[in-house]
Amino acid sequence: MALTNSHTLPFGTLSIAMVTLFHADGSVDFDATAELANQLVDDGCDSLVISGTTGETSTLEDQEKEDLFRVVVEAVGGRAKVIAGTGTNHTSHSIEMAQRAARAGVDGQLVVTPYYNKPTQAGVLAHFEAVADATDLPIMIYDIPGRSGIPIHTETMIRLADNPKIVALKDAKADFAEITRVLANTTLDVYSGDDGLTLPWMIAGGVGVVSVSAHVATAQFRALVDAAAAGDVTTARRIHFELDPVVRAVMTHIPGAVSAKQILKMQGLIPNAVVRLPLVGPSAVEMETVLADLAEAGMNFDTPRTRRTHGTPA
């Protein structure tokens, strides 16, 4: 018996919060980003978030973001959903980015809780509704109090779900009781925003995950999401345990954008692992811990690998 919603999902089921690739001088490498987008879709993801946290959105200029949206739509549009990370803590700026994303032809937008300025729940509600009213794009709300400084209260989320353009939630609150209330009282498509919580969130009624770790284990995450959606909990549990060291490697030692790029480079999928300040590359000690977790997952990088090109096997 399938565990998840049967309606068409506007944001897919396996979404990757995609890294933004840079040249050695720090400028955006649009060609390599498009190539990686194609490879991730080939490997099993059906949705990409562009210019989210892992895409280093806070250090991208507005025009760079709009150009990225357009480049990825041109690369994978029709094969996967393209979701633009448009949210900021400035409502009118978020509206402008939503309009830019719509012009670029994306399928939807990810809008994060306004961060740092810590608005009241009334302000949170007004912010999301203003962004929703600005375009026809469907919205996935991103609730991540660890980064934004405040949670979206469940009562607020239930009210937001009444807006026909607000159709999904990326939940990174890690509160099973609260997400249960959201699932029970709304028709939102709920995605785990914590890679390691994909299985329990889907068993409760979530539809998938917006993942960072899936950059480096796309096929396994595809199999996990599909098994959970089909109600095959035995298979899903096995894959969940297999992915645990991968999730630890990507998400627990250094920022996800840094670790994902380092591993993708070792896998031969990207030309370099350049990040923009204030992010920096890992120390040797940090990489040792990452590599130890990957080795536990059976992913060893003892020999150099040649960079893969789109459509070629590893």
Catalytic residue from among 142, 165, 191, 261:
142
Whether the CB-CB separation of 213 and 14 falls below 8 Å is answered with no
Catalytic member of 65, 81, 165, 170: 170
Q: Using CA of residue 192, residue 198, residue 202, residue 204, what is the dihedral sign?
A: negative
> Of 129, 134, 157, 133, whose CA–CA distance to 145 is shortest?
157
* Token duo for residue 55: 């895409």
Active site residue 116: no
Nearest CA-CA partner of 111 in 142, 136, 134? 142
Catalytic residue check, 265? no
Q: Which residues are catalytic?
A: 142, 170
